[in-house]
Amino acid sequence: MKRIVFIIALLFASFAEAQTGIIKGVVVDKQSESPLEGATIELLNTEIATGVITDFDGRFTIIDVPVGRQAIRVSYIGYESTTIPNIVVTTGKDVSLNISLLESFNQLDEVVLTTETTKDRPLNKAATVSARQFGLEEVTRFSGGRSDVGRLAANFAGVSTPDDSRNDIVVRGNSPVGLLWRVEGIPIPNPNHFAAFGTTGGPVSAINPNMLKNSDFITSAFPAEYGNALGGVFDLGFRKGNVDDYEYTAQAGAFTGIEATAEGPMGKNNGSFLIAARYSLVGLIGAGAGGASTAVPNYTDVSFNLNFGKGKLGNFSLFGILATSDIEFLGDEIDENDLFASEDEDLFVESRFGVLGLKHQVSFGDNSYLRTILGGSLSQSQINSDRYFNLDTPEERVIPFFDTDDLESRLTVSTLFNSKISNRVTLRTGVLLENFGLESVLRDREEQPDNDGDGDPDLTVFRDIDESFAIVQPYIQGRFRLTEKLTLNTGLHSVYSSLNEQFVFEPRAGVKYNLTNSQSLSFGYGLHHQPAPLPLLFLNENVNGQEVQTNRDLDFVRSMHYVLGYDIKIAPSWRGKVEVYYQDIDNAAVESFPSSYSSLTEGADFAFDNDRVSLVNEGTGFNRGIEFTLEKFFSKGYYGLLTGSFFESRYEGSDGIERNTPFNNGYVVNFLTGREFKIGVSGRNVFFVDTRLATSGGQYFTPIDLEASQFAGFEVQREDLAFSERFDDYFRWDVKFGIRLNSKEKKRSHQFYVDLQNVTNNENAFVRRYNRLTNSVDQVDQIGFFPDFGYKFQF
């Protein structure tokens, strides 16, 4: 015991020497993004006053910064100064900041207003309501987040996740298929491992959080530059690598896997490189996928951002993501409570995801720039299933039962022109062109007759296409500071699809009025359109002996968003926000005869219905609710976040009956808090504790007709009672603790953590399904108690 105590004491002593780090960054004009030469950066709350001035390119570097949480103040003549708190300084990695200053309304000669930069304000200043920014610290700090940006968003007001096994994002009662993912300014397919065709979520994210700079998440009434989405927008940006020094990170985690990151200077024009690669830890050690599953998931991804610096032709950068994943569920190794597979089935899943983009930005004077992005992306999902009949009998046999191979590719061109007309007016206009290529095959025996008389259900082709089509989205938007207290954001977005040859206009508007320096009112409106999910559009229907795609000409689904918000700064580092919203949805795809089906209910799991054909745009729905946020930003060693959403999500199918959507939880409440304790002689090392409590109303589901299922041999649902029954309320408690150590050696730091997820082992329902082996209806629960862990070494 004495030896253990001695070793621990020796470990802390080796980190006890007071160490320093580096804060660097660039300061630009918020409206024009032009660098500001001569801006002053002051390091606050230190014994010795430290300050630097930005150079011609707006860059600055502060050296010998004490490790720990620091704050800086940035000021420039004629601009509103800003204070940036909670900058985590370590010895292992330089801190790099991108800072934007807003020109004073009356162009005063002196700085008269100081604001504090907080994460509740979005980077995109055209987003007036229902938007906030997030960064690497939030993604990796919160308990239970698994370093997943999707799971991070579930802590924000208005957002819920249907189950613990996937990171699908339900925003204000909308289907997850209504979510738009963007990376570096271009839309991308589903950025998740094991992603299925047409979905936006998955079990494991392929977005590496170590690549991210501060990014935006928007939940309603989007600015005019965003389109082809109904529910929400993830607008992600990759950070640049260190332009002065080479830095490396090595880390391991149960969910994130084994990971390595490298970055450093490149070329002679302040260029840099950043590259990160991950491989699943559970795949290396042979652990199961979680819950009752014994299947081993394998996944890997590589991300990079190469910034070539500023040259005579402007600034060029090349970015990308490459990801692959696979898993096998073998029936003889499957537990009856497995979340994804059955005992009489072998299931094989493979997926691929890739993005490659070239970005160019050139300035025109000090107030305007043109940004153009050329991109390509792909998403492929292959799923094959073999079904055993007469299992565990002498007559046992196996046949191919289901297979799908879906490949979606995109060629994308995005260009925008941004101009600061004055300190009161900023205009932005642009166009997004996407050319989609789609190769998709879907064959299935489920619920099919035996027309060929071989004793097995026929393997029916539901989809077999090789198609291409284009979507074009021009837009224009303006930001007008009408008075010091009143700001108007307005614009017009439009969408054209060559598939159905539909062209629509979408007006957007947002108004913000500052009641006082600490209180504001805001209102937002937006009209939004999105095509029906691609897996539905290309389904085959037999019409007079011919296979016809009777859904391909469906119109866009339409949604009008109305949002009213109130924001208050209660005290230093404390903020409160309340928003009330209503979303009116029409043109949803429903069946041409009376039924409960609507495309608004799709997207809750891996698959889409394959028998919904001859659909018409006559469905409606609505989402309405109120949500609040009470947030204490990190200060005095702790933070807190309390969010609550109380909402209703309803729809009507072609039978005219108003029903719950499967996303109508009714309420979602999250509470997160964390504390840091300085340890060691110098207090430069940190022990941290974080916790998260989450609860929500149970999900609605459609009951199973047991007698009809037993007769048919497959699950038959009571569609006349669609989404009429409900699971018990959801509850989960996560606890995370760890230590962050700054080495006495230069540029070296360590971090360890343990994340105990669902510590009460609460049995939250996952699904009720018909078990064809026992001829009964079983309930399968979500993952119970699960310990996560991680280690990070930066040098």
pTM above 0.75, yes or no: yes
Q: What is the pLDDT of residue 197?
A: 94
Q: Which two tokens stand for residue 96?
A: 């790099």
Query: DSSP class of residue 734?
Result: E
Burial of 749 (0-12, 13-18, 19+ CB in 10 A): buried
Q: What is the pLDDT of residue 461?
A: 95
Query: DSSP class of residue 494?
Result: E
pLDDT along the chain (795 residues), means of 10: 39 50 92 92 83 92 90 91 88 90 71 54 90 86 88 91 84 96 97 94 93 94 97 96 95 91 94 96 65 76 96 95 94 71 89 98 95 98 94 90 96 97 96 97 93 91 95 98 96 97 97 95 98 95 91 97 96 94 98 97 85 96 98 92 97 97 96 93 88 95 95 93 96 96 83 95 91 89 90 94
Q: Yes or no: say if 197 and 177 are a contact pair by the CB < 8 Å rule.
A: no
A 10 A CB-CB count for 50 gives 16
Q: What is the pLDDT of residue 129?
A: 95
Q: What is the pLDDT of residue 49?
A: 72
3-state helix, strand, coil in the chain (%, to 5): 5, 55, 35
Three-state SS at 593? coil
Q: What is the pLDDT of residue 17?
A: 44
How far is the C-alpha of 29 from the C-alpha of 108, rounded, in Å?
16
Q: What is the pLDDT of residue 107?
A: 58
How far is the C-alpha of 597 from the C-alpha of 591, rounded, in Å?
7
Neighbouring-strand partners of residue 447: none
Q: What is the pLDDT of residue 16?
A: 41
Q: How many residues does the chain have?
A: 795
